[in-house]
Structure 1
Amino acid sequence: MTLTTPALLFPAISLLLLAYTNRFLVLAQLIRELNQRDNSGLELVVKRQITTLRKRLHLIRAMQSAGVMSFLLCTLAMFLIFVEMPLLGSIFFGCSLASLTISLVLSLFEVHISTRAIEIELESMAAQP
């Protein structure tokens, strides 16, 4: 394995972390809007959303943590390859890929929960006269 192999992941991981940050910011804005919303008649919907929002916040934090860990491990792999320790560099690169995979699986789960949250909103809209 050469130094360029782990370097190929840098743009992908960077874009992934940017996407996760955007998801977090949108979620934070949604929470602020729910907090300021006139909740007359919508208490049940908001309470259902709170549970979902908490799960999503925890997932996004875990996604970001795994993504950052992947980035760090990839950097260490590059350093180890640079200082001519290719076996250890390969191990760190493999761990980086595993961490990236965990991050992506968590992201998939968060998308699933997000979709259910939108369905709760649609249910409340459909129930209103």
Structure 2
Amino acid sequence: MEELTLTTPALLFSAISLIMLAYTNRFLAYAAVIRNLHDKYLKEKDDSLLRQIINLKARLYLTKWMQIFGITSLLLCVLTMFLIYVEYKVIAIWIFGIALVLLLISLGLLIREIQISTQALQHHIEDIEEHLKAKK
């Protein structure tokens, strides 16, 4: 078994930072869409917006947990580096393993969120197709 060094958890810093940036961008996009839907609903009281609201609520929930697991993974990587520094190598290995599992969970939630996002776009396509069929 190879020894865990300070550089191993440090390698994840840039990857996790980029992932967190992507998660934050998704979150900000949802916030904008939700605000627009809110304004549209207040003006039109259109019940057809409910499907979009339910979808966005699920995506927002997943994004929150993606961020929590990603940030916790990063924190545990920092803790791993500290434990390596103070020469608690066995504990450091276990903490780093937990950090990797949390990162896996975060990425798994991202996959689920992408599936829900795709469903949302499919709903929009179906609405357009129904509108086009009604015109014929």
- TM-score calculated relative to the size of structure 2: 0.88
Letter in 1 for 2:104: T
Q: Indicate the residue corresponding to 2:69 in structure 1.
A: 66
Q: Which amino acid aligns with 2:56?
A: L
How many residues are paired up? 128
User: What's the offset of the Cα at 1:37?
Assistant: 2.8
Unpaired segments of 5 or more residues in structure 2?
Answer: none
- In the TM superposition, what is the alpha-carbon distance from 1:40 to its structure 2 partner? 5.4
Residue segments in structure 1 that go unaligned for 5+ positions in a row: none
In structure 2, relative to structure 1, the CA distance for the partners of 1:37 and 1:126 (3 Å cut) is: farther
Q: For residues 88 and 66 of structure 2, what CA distance do their matches in structure 1 show?
A: 29
Which has the larger Rg?
2
Which ranges of 4 or more aligned residues in structure 1 deviate by more than 4 Å?
38-42
- Secondary structure of the residue aligned to 2:102 is helix
CA–CA distance in 1 between the matches of 2:45 and 2:14?
46
Identity %: 47
CA distance in structure 2 between the partners assigned to 1:3 and 1:125 by the alignment: 54
Q: 2:47 aligns with which of 43, 64, 67?
A: 43
RMSD of aligned Cα (Å)? 1.6
Output aligned runs, 1:93-112, within 5 Å.
93-112=96-115
TM-score by length of 1: 0.93
